[in-house]
């Protein structure tokens, strides 16, 4: 079956044609391992895991190479290690181990390869040297910078001119820059920061890579100069992915770095941007304490990947109810039973730019076909447990996330301040459906779980 994908580069859906039928190659930007990954970080992992499963089904498991990197050298990592008073390697190993544990609980498969930035410093330096040699980069005061005006097509992915990008970006002003938009490929390291010898640092001094060059080097190493699909969150379109394209195309004399660029939409919590200051910042690990991983996965897939997603208790509850129903239908079918019975409607929906909401709607039509239901849901990373295993996971009603409830309460208060009574009532009723009772009083609004 043919696959169509929306290509951010061309701003349209296109028939997917791999460069090599027997080696479909996909790169997705992975975590910066300095803290627990939040639920927004889970979205691209789940989305592209679903695409990975689809590609393996269509082209064969041995004919797909999926690379998702681990960024383990970064200013955020340095700052967190210093704050905790631990070695950087200790921090990155601990954080990466937690990330792997969390996403495994979300039923995400391991990629073919998970390259670490610190293991590709030599490849990064080679790439930087090529860019200098070809006149696209220059060394200045221990730094190496990519000279944006040297690339005529810069800005094609984000579809903005350099002037527009400069106006909307936080451009670092530095005397060693030839142009304000020039970005860092290599920079000096202090004594307490990770660093490696390089041709651009003084003798005895060390430096470290910029963020963008890391992905260009790792993608080239594991997938080649031009590969099929590059994915990530929409927040990475500019500057990260725009800069990746600039580096890779200029170094390798190619028109493209990847043929198809895919980006998932933003995530909000109960209608608000997730923020620690708002109190609605939720990690994957926190979600997994209260909900089975498959519930979180299905809740994520109930919205099309390109659309913004509103992460709510209501959605999680609906996802759990759906899974309860489906597991009761498939009963104790063993793994692999019905493996050749994947429903054409489910497969067709996934092949249509990963239309998971349509695929889920089709799953609901398979209540009289347990083998097809199990096999088709398995293509989306669902119903992979036995009924007894599922019941052990979901035997207790999950505890509601306090941060999510508080965020909903604040949103209702804001609606009342705005005299938006309909919205205030909607939030109240939605919480009531989840067993949360609101009490308005002279000292504000309190809530309790209905008993």
Q: Which residues contact 236 (CB under 8 A, 6 or more apart)?
A: 29, 263
- Torsion angle (degrees, nearest 10) of CA 125, 128, 133, 136: 180
Q: What is the largest CA-CA distance in the chain?
A: 73
Give the H/E segment covering residue 230.
Answer: strand 227-233
pLDDT value for 397: 45
Give pLDDT tens digits for 162-205. 676 665 455 567 889 999 999 999 999 998 899 999 999 988 89
What are the Cα distances from residue 397, in Å, to 6, 103, 119, 391, 434? 38, 22, 44, 11, 11
pLDDT value for 211: 92
Helices 242-252 and 211-223 cross at an angle (nearest 10°) of 50
Domains annotated on the chain, with CATH: 4-264 (3.40.50.620), 291-394 (no CATH), 402-449 (no CATH)
pLDDT value for 431: 84
Give the phi and the psi of residue 46 in degrees, each rounded to 5. -70, -45
pLDDT value for 375: 94
Quote the tokens at residue 65: 């190479």
Place of tokens 């590969």: 227
- Which regions in the chain score pLDDT beneath 50? 168, 338-339, 397-399, 451
Nearest-angstrom CA–CA distance, 227 and 18: 8
- Torsion angle (degrees, nearest 10) of CA 319, 323, 325, 326: 130
pTM, entire model? 0.86
3-class DSSP assignment, residue 183: strand
Contact 301, 270 (CB under 8 A): no
pLDDT value for 119: 97
Nearest-angstrom CA–CA distance, 193 and 53: 39
Return the closest-CA partner of residue 251 out of 243, 260, 259. Answer: 243
Give the phi and the psi of residue 12 in degrees, each rounded to 5. -155, 160
pLDDT value for 443: 74
Give pLDDT tens digits for 283-327. 999 999 999 999 999 999 999 999 999 999 889 999 999 999 999
Place of tokens 């089904």: 57
Nearest-angstrom CA–CA distance, 105 and 119: 27
pLDDT value for 432: 81
Quick one: 310 exposed, middle or buried, by C-beta within 10 A (0-12, 13-18, 19+)?
middle
Quote the tokens at residue 233: 């969150």
Give the H/E segment covering residue 14.
Answer: strand 12-15
3-class DSSP assignment, residue 329: helix
């Amino acid at each position: 079956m043919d696959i169509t994908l929306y290509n951010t580069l061309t701003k349209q859906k296109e028939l997917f044609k791999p460069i090599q039928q027997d080696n479909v190659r996909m790169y997705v930007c992975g975590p910066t391992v300095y803290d627990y990954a939040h639920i927004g970080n889970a979205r691209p992992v789940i989305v592209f895991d679903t695409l990975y499963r689809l590609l393996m089904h269509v082209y064969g498991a041995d004919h797909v190479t999926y690379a998702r990197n681990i960024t383990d050298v970064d200013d955020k990592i340095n700052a967190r290690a210093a704050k905790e008073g631990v070695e950087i390697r200790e921090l990155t190993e601990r954080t990466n181990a937690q990330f792997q544990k969390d996403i495994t609980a979300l039923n995400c498969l391991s990629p073919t390869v998970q390259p670490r930035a610190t293991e590709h410093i030599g490849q990064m330096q080679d790439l930087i040297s090529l860019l200098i040699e070809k006149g696209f980069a220059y060394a200045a005061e221990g730094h190496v910078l990519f000279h944006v005006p040297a690339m005529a097509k810069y800005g094609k992915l984000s579809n903005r001119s350099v002037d527009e990008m400069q106006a909307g970006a936080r451009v670092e002003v530095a005397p060693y820059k030839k142009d304000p938009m020039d970005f860092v490929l290599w920079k000096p390291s202090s004594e307490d920061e990770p660093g490696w010898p390089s041709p651009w640092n003084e003798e005895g001094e060390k430096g470290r890579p910029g963020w963008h060059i890391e992905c260009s080097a790792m993608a080239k190493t594991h997938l080649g100069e031009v590969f099929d699909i590059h994915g990530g969150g929409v927040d990475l379109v500019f500057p990260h992915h725009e800069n990746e394209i600039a580096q890779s195309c200029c170094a390798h004399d190619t028109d493209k770095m990847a043929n198809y660029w895919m980006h998932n939409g933003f995530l909000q919590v109960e209608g608000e941007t997730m923020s620690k200051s708002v109190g609605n910042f939720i990690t994957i690990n926190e979600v997994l304490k209260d909900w089975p991983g498959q519930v979180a996965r299905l809740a994520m897939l109930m919205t099309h990947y390109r659309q913004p997603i509103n992460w709510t208790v209501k959605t999680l509850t609906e996802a759990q109810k759906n899974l309860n129903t489906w597991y009761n239908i498939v009963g104790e079918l063993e793994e692999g039973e019905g493996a050749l019975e994947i429903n054409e409607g489910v497969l067709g929906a996934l092949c249509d730019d990963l239309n998971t909401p349509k695929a889920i709607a089709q799953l609901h039509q398979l209540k009289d076909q347990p083998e097809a239901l199990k096999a088709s849901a398995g293509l989306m990373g669902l119903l992979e447990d036995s009924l007894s295993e599922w019941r052990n996971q979901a035997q207790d009603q999950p505890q509601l996330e306090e941060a999510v409830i508080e965020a909903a309460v604040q949103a209702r208060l804001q609606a009342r301040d705005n005299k938006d009574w309909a919205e205030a009532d909607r939030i109240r009723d939605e919480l009531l459906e989840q067993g949360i009772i609101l009490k308005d009083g002279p000292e504000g609004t309190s809530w309790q779980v209905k008993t």
